Structure 1
Amino acid sequence: MTSETIATTKPEISTEADAGRRSYARPLLGLLLPVGLALGWEIVVHLGLSSGRLVPPPSRIFGEIVDLAKSGELLRHIVATLTRVFVGFGFGVLAGTLLGAICGYWALARRLLDPTIQALRAIPSLAWVPLFILWLGIFETSKVALIAIGVFFPVYLGVMGAILSVDRKIVEVGRAFRLSGPAMIRRILLPAVLPAYVVALRVGLGLGWMFVVAAELIGASEGLGYLLLDGQQLGKPAQIVAAIVIFAILGKTTDWLIEIASAPLLRWQDAFSRTGAV
């Protein structure tokens, strides 16, 4: 290996090492704000500047989480909530993707179905609750249906809007190469829609976590939403905040899993975030 070759390979190695360090540092950077706020509030309560009765310090919240974990209640509530979210998310994504693709690709279906779907989207989530209880009872079916409703609308809008915003020139290129309908969808529409679809999935998942709270406040005997209501009725703010913290951790973790799963499918993007400028 000549000195010129060594000189040209060193910057590449350095660049790869810097990129690796940045990939590890970015998640840690996101922890600075919540950890800093938690430490600050712990210090305020420790110094006696606040009693911490209504807003417990992190040490008390952590102790509450440990107690719930030791008793086995925490795992039971987490499993119940995760099951409802995943099942509702699956049904909502399936329905939203199919209807969004149909309305985006077929103008007649869009004119026929979209006005009604948009009107239904304006209905508040809690307005569905009494209807679902009458139709489906107070058991798991009504809870899953409510979560699926919350997931459906952002996925539907994301898919339909992404298809409608596909560059007309790209479609004309596909037609010039005489691509069939399935080939047009696979080679032209799907790659163009995928980035917006991933965003729609993340938004839908976030709404699924929001709707599960409303669902679990309806006659539930287990779940993190039930833990919130139980803490309110018993006057236990530490339990309420502990449930909120667990909601935040689970929500962020599932959102992160979607990011990881979709990353290999979006490597072709020449996006601003991939330049390393930020």
Structure 2
Amino acid sequence: MRPAEATPLPLGAAPKVPSKTVATALRLPGGRVLAGLVLPLFLALAWEAAVRAGLAQGRLVPPPSRVLATLWGLAESGELWTHVLASLTRVAAGFGFGALAGIVVGAVTGTLPLARQLVDPSLQALRAIPSIAWVPLFILWFGIFEASKITLIAVGVFFPVYLGVAGAIAGVDRKLIEVGRVFRLSRLALARRILLPAVLPATLVALRTGLGLGFMFVAAAELLGASEGLGYLLLDGQQLGKPDQIVAAILAFAGLGKVCDALLVGLTAPLARWQDTARDTL
């Protein structure tokens, strides 16, 4: 038998590329990491080229080469790691306290209508207060040391976690609860087998949001009275007129926040592995 001859392509027509090529490449080890680096690397190289070509001065926004040199110098001297450890310790403590309080209060107000009517309006009003407005009060209450900074971070983490948990519980499909009652599940079994799986995805998203706000609040806390931390590094660069140090501190914040977010996602991913979502097929 003669092998089937390939049908020639029409003149000017491009060969078809499998639609799943990109998706397959992203599933390779490190594929998603490399894809996420494309945009920042492109912007950094474009700005570096613009400064070197004389199209921009690079005085207020230094080129990436100078920022990386500053980061390398801070890391080599050990100063960067001191500031990173200080900020990371504060965020970890504030996130722990704020997330725990948000989950507990959110669960209570989400399941008990009376608690929701009594507590939720006050919490919604407190949520509208800017973070900087808490600083003078916390300094008066807890002093200028770590307690005031950790409390400020905990406040920033508390509200998104509280809203996520309370909203998720309130949004549970009533039919699921009725099914549980039909099967005569106890309150504990109802919470464990129906409520917890239903609210867990939204709770994990709320934790990620709270962690991001924790890094925002630690910067505010360290700008107002600290001798260590990435926020202090920002303030020091502003006072000494070092834009490369400011941008280096911002990049350190971004990198540290991304690493912590990835760790949180990795640690909590097994809890939601049972989900069959559209994201896995897109």
Runs of 4+ off more than 3 Å: 17-24
Change (3 A) 1:43 1:116: same
Match of 2:8 in 1: none
Choose the corresponding residue for 1:29, options 16, 19, 35: 35
After superposition, where does 1:158-169 map in structure 2 within 5 Å?
158-169=164-175
C-alpha displacement at 1:267, in angstroms?
1.7
For residues 31-72 of structure 1, the C-alpha deviation after alignment (integer angstroms, 9 at most, x for no partner) is 111010001111111112222111011110000011111111
Q: Is the 8 A contact 2:25 2:31 kept in 1?
A: no
Does residue 1:76 correspond to 2:113, yes or no? no
Partners of 2:165 and 2:269 in 1: how far apart?
18
C-alpha displacement at 1:103, in angstroms?
0.3
Kindly provide the amino acid, as one letter, of the partner of residue 165 in structure 1.
G
C-alpha displacement at 1:24, in angstroms?
3.3
Q: More deviation in 253-262 or 141-150?
A: 253-262
Per the normalisation by structure 2, the TM-score is 0.90
Q: Is the 8 A contact 2:26 2:32 kept in 1?
A: no
Partners of 2:63 and 2:93 in 1: how far apart?
34
Choose the corresponding residue for 2:106, options 100, 103, 106: 100
Choose the corresponding residue for 2:241, options 196, 218, 235: 235
For residues 74-102 of structure 1, the C-alpha deviation after alignment (integer angstroms, 9 at most, x for no partner) is 01000000000000000000100000000
Choose the corresponding residue for 1:180, options 179, 186, 205: 186
C-alpha displacement at 1:181, in angstroms?
1.1
Match of 1:271 in 2: 277
Per the normalisation by structure 1, the TM-score is 0.91
Partners of 1:202 and 1:247 in 2: how far apart?
16
Match of 1:58 in 2: 64
Q: More deviation in 40-49 or 146-155?
A: 40-49
Change (3 A) 1:175 1:19: farther
Partners of 1:151 and 1:50 in 2: how far apart?
39
Change (3 A) 1:57 1:19: closer
Partners of 2:24 and 2:141 in 1: how far apart?
57
C-alpha displacement at 1:198, in angstroms?
0.6
Partners of 2:27 and 2:106 in 1: how far apart?
40
For residues 118-176 of structure 1, the C-alpha deviation after alignment (integer angstroms, 9 at most, x for no partner) is 11001110000000011111000000000000000000000000000001111111111
Match of 1:110 in 2: 116
Match of 1:7 in 2: none
Q: What are the ranges of 5 or more consecutive residues in structure 2 without an aligned counterpart?
A: 1-19
Partners of 1:264 and 1:19 in 2: how far apart?
24
The answer to which structure has the higher helix fraction is 1
For residues 182-202 of structure 1, the C-alpha deviation after alignment (integer angstroms, 9 at most, x for no partner) is 111111000000000011001
Q: What are the ranges of 5 or more consecutive residues in structure 1 without an aligned counterpart?
A: 1-13
Q: Partner of 2:30: helix, strand, or coil?
A: helix
Choose the corresponding residue for 1:203, options 206, 209, 212: 209
Match of 1:144 in 2: 150
C-alpha displacement at 1:18, in angstroms?
3.8
For residues 240-260 of structure 1, the C-alpha deviation after alignment (integer angstroms, 9 at most, x for no partner) is 000000000111111111211
Highest Rg: 1 or 2?
Answer: 2
Q: Work out the percentage of aligned pairs sharing the same amino acid.
A: 67
Q: More deviation in 90-99 or 47-56?
A: 47-56
Kindly provide the amino acid, as one letter, of the partner of residue 202 in structure 1.
R
After superposition, where does 1:34-49 map in structure 2 within 5 Å?
34-49=40-55
After superposition, where does 1:115-126 map in structure 2 within 5 Å?
115-126=121-132
Kindly provide the amino acid, as one letter, of the partner of residue 223 in structure 1.
G
C-alpha displacement at 1:21, in angstroms?
3.5
